[in-house]
Amino acid sequence: MIGRLNHVAIAVPDLMAAADQYRGALGAEVGPPLDQPDHGVTVIFITLPNTKIELLYPLGDASPIAKFLDKNPAGGIHHICYEVDDLVAARDRLTATGARVLGDGTPKIGAHGKPVLFLHPKDFQGTLVELEQV
């Protein structure tokens, strides 16, 4: 069921400073900022040879990233994203094992334009997991 690692998401207190650090210090390929109003975030993707880093910044005061940064002012890893072939089948299999899907269980369109769901961190060793259909 689980596929490759799609990205690791890092919440940052200053989106452009973080992007500049990846671009300048690490020589990474840095994409443009993308507002994701349905998720309350602005994202920038850093492309690596084998995966991506997603920099997350709050889009509005009600953003879940704003709450995360309140608790972690310096930022930090927010979630990891795995690819799946069939998101609804993955959701159904996971809920049958007792895993909790955040929200109402209906996939939303994520930053890559593909359906995504998030799984409760208490069910995955304290890690928020995003599943993205490929």
Cβ-defined contacts of 111-117 (< 8 Å, 24+): 111/34, 111/36, 111/39, 111/43, 111/45, 111/54, 112/6, 115/87, 116/81, 116/87, 117/87, 117/90, 117/91
What single-letter DSSP state applies at residue 123? Answer: G
**130 included as an active-site residue:** yes
Give the whole-angstrom CA distance, residue 107 versus residue 10: 22
Give the whole-angstrom CA distance, residue 106 versus residue 47: 28
Q: Of 29, 54, 83, 130, which is the active-site residue? A: 130
Which active-site residues does the annotation give? 130
